[in-house]
């Protein structure tokens, strides 16, 4: 049929067919838009990112807890009180119970029924280091038998040696009003200020009067 032979009825049917297809396409688009709006409501990008982060954490090797290092000099009074409680808890609850011979020898109880170990800052430092190395050997998830053996054979004996060396001059003879009679301060009656000649030498170096 030629274009010239087509009548008004044919043109109307064509227009109706185009309209129906257009309407059908519009309905489909409406459905697509509804689905997109529904998906947008689920925050898919954020959910995918969260899922990826969760999977990454599950596949990563867990980090071992890091034990803090104490600097007694830098502690406030409150921090020192907390540190003393932790140290005493380990010393009396673990060190004394599990390693009684080492406890007695390191802290001076092998010489008398009482000890002045807490009056010696260097003993406190050694005991603190021993506690942290014990945690490193026994509480670190990455630890193994070699760390335990190293602590028992190296760090424990060395701490005991340090304690005995520091407390050796003290000969305690407790009295009613003097529980630590016989305690020796290694700096007592010692002229420990920097030598005057050394200070003078440093001054000359700073001013350039002496070559470095």
Banded model confidence at residue 102, pLDDT cuts 50, 70, 90: very high
∠161-163-164 over CA atoms, to 5°?
Answer: 65
* Structure confidence by residue, pLDDT tens digits, 146-166: 999 999 999 999 999 999 999
Structure-block tokens of residue 119: 């009056």
Mean predicted lDDT score pLDDT of the chain: 82
* DSSP structure class, residue 195: P
Give the range among 7-21, 30-44, 191-205 with minimum mean pLDDT: 7-21
pLDDT at residue number 60: 56
For the cut 60, the answer to whether the pLDDT of residue 185 exceeds it is yes
Who wins on pLDDT, 42 or 177?
A: 177
pLDDT at residue number 168: 93
Banded model confidence at residue 112, pLDDT cuts 50, 70, 90: confident
pLDDT at residue number 189: 81
Q: What is the CA radius of gyration of the chain?
A: 40
What's the pTM value of the predicted model, to 2 decimals?
0.65
* Structure confidence by residue, pLDDT tens digits, 24-56: 766 676 666 676 666 566 665 666 566 666 655
pLDDT at residue number 109: 94
CB atoms within 10 A of CB 106: 28
| Closest to 118 in 3D by CA, of 166, 160, 73 | 166
With contact defined as beta carbons under 8 Å apart, do 100 and 91 qualify? no
Banded model confidence at residue 172, pLDDT cuts 50, 70, 90: confident
Who wins on pLDDT, 13 or 177?
A: 177
């Amino acid at each position: 049929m030629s274009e010239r032979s087509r009548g008004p009825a044919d043109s109307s049917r064509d227009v109706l067919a185009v309209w129906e297809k257009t309407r059908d396409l519009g309905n489909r688009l409406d459905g697509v838009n509804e689905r997109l709006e529904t998906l947008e409501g689920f925050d898919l990008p954020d959910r995918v990112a969260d899922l990826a982060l969760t999977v990454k954490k599950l596949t990563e090797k867990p980090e071992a807890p890091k034990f803090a290092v104490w600097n007694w000099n830098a502690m406030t009074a409150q921090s020192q009180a907390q540190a003393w409680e932790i140290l005493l808890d380990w010393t009396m609850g673990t060190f004394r119970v599990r390693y009684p011979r080492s406890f007695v020898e390191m802290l001076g109880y092998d010489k008398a029924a009482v000890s002045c170990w807490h009056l010696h800052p260097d003993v406190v430092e050694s005991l603190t280091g021993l506690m942290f190395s014990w945690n490193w050997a026994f509480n670190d998830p990455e630890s193994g038998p070699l760390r335990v053996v190293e602590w028992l054979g190296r760090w424990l004996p060395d701490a005991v040696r340090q304690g005995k060396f520091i407390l050796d001059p003290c000969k305690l003879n407790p009295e009613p009003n003097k529980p630590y009679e016989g305690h020796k301060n290694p700096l007592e009656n010692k002229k420990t200020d920097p030598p005057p000649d050394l200070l003078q030498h440093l001054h000359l170096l700073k001013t350039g009067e002496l070559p470095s």
